[in-house]
């Protein structure tokens, strides 16, 4: 691996020093509709010509949105989508999928969209299992981190958010334990008119708080 994989956007690649870093988890969070899925989908499509992309999907990727991004071309067969419909399925599937990924020689990217969707629903519906689900979620993230390091590929981990009542800030679900496993953390903020800002929350080589404007278009990210 070159150490970075392209986002598909020259503006974002320049901002990130070449793209998303290999060997680590990059966490991406933001409010609903901020463009998180657009960013990781476009990154997946961009890199599918270089090898296999493992895409763990808990929210249901829109076939129509994919078709917009690919245009007249078919969805690349190198993107391997794994749909997980509930948290039980996620618990069973993640270890199997990551073991499969480690047996491949040409994986270039792993995406999880969204890591906390089913976990959050499980917590809300079955509150007595909070501790159990929290522990199993952390285990999954630890496996993702290990796989990223073993294969030397980026793992893009999309996360949901909540409003912190003390600070009135939008925060990622899962708390510090989850975020600790990510070596890079980015927040996406809306700026209106299809414009978004990628904000560095944590990074090993970029200053915290710097931001880059990009645009969501019909064909992807600019």
- Per-domain residue ranges for the chain? 4-221
Q: Higher pLDDT residue, 132 or 189?
A: 189
Residue 207 confidence (pLDDT): 97
**How many Cβ atoms are within 10 Å of 147's Cβ, its own excluded?**
21
Checking phi first, is residue 141 left (phi over 0); if not, alpha (psi -120 to 50) or beta? alpha
Q: Output the pLDDT for position 108.
A: 98
Structure tokens at 34: 């901020």
* Backbone φ and ψ of 216, nearest 5°: -90, 125
Q: Residue 161: left (phi > 0), alpha (psi -120 to 50), or beta? A: beta
For residue 177, pLDDT beyond 90: no
What pLDDT sits at residue 196? 97
pLDDT for 150 beyond 60? yes
Note the pLDDT of residue 129.
52
Give the global pTM: 0.92
Predicted confidence band at 43 (pLDDT cuts at 50, 70, 90)?
A: very high
User: Which fold is adopted by the domain 4-221?
Assistant: Rossmann fold (3.40.50)
Model confidence at 36, pLDDT cuts 50, 70, 90, reads very high
Lowest mean pLDDT among 111-120, 153-162, 206-215: 111-120
Phi/psi of residue 124, nearest 5 degrees = -75, -35
* Digit-coded pLDDT (tens) for 57-109: 999 999 899 999 999 999 999 999 999 999 889 989 999 999 999 999 899 99
**pLDDT above 90 (res 7):** yes
The percent of residues above 90 in pLDDT, for the chain, comes to 74
Q: Is it the case that residue 32 has pLDDT exceeding 90?
A: yes
């Amino acid at each position: 691996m070159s150490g970075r994989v392209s986002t598909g956007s020259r503006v974002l690649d320049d901002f990130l020093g070449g793209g998303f870093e290999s060997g680590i988890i990059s966490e991406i969070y933001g409010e609903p509709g901020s463009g998180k899925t657009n960013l990781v989908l476009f990154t997946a499509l961009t890199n599918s010509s270089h090898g296999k992309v493992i895409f763990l999907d808990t929210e249901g990727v829109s076939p129509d949105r994919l078709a917009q991004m690919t245009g007249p071309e078919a969805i690349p067969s190198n993107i391997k989508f794994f749909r997980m419909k509930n948290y039980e399925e996620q618990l069973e599937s993640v270890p199997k999928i990551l073991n499969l990924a480690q047996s491949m020689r040409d994986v270039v990217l792993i995406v999880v969209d969204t890591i906390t969707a089913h976990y959050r629903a499980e917590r809300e519906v079955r509150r007595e299992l909070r501790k159990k689900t929290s522990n199993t979620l952390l285990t999954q993230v630890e496996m993702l981190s290990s796989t990223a390091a073993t294969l030397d590929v980026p793992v893009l981990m999309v996360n949901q958010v909540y409003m912190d009542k003390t600070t009135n800030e939008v925060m990622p679900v899962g708390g510090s334990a989850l975020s600790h496993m990510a070596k890079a953390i980015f927040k996406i903020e809306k700026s209106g008119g299809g414009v978004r800002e990628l904000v560095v929350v944590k990074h090993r080589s970029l200053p915290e708080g710097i931001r880059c404007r990009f645009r969501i278009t019909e064909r992807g990210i600019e």
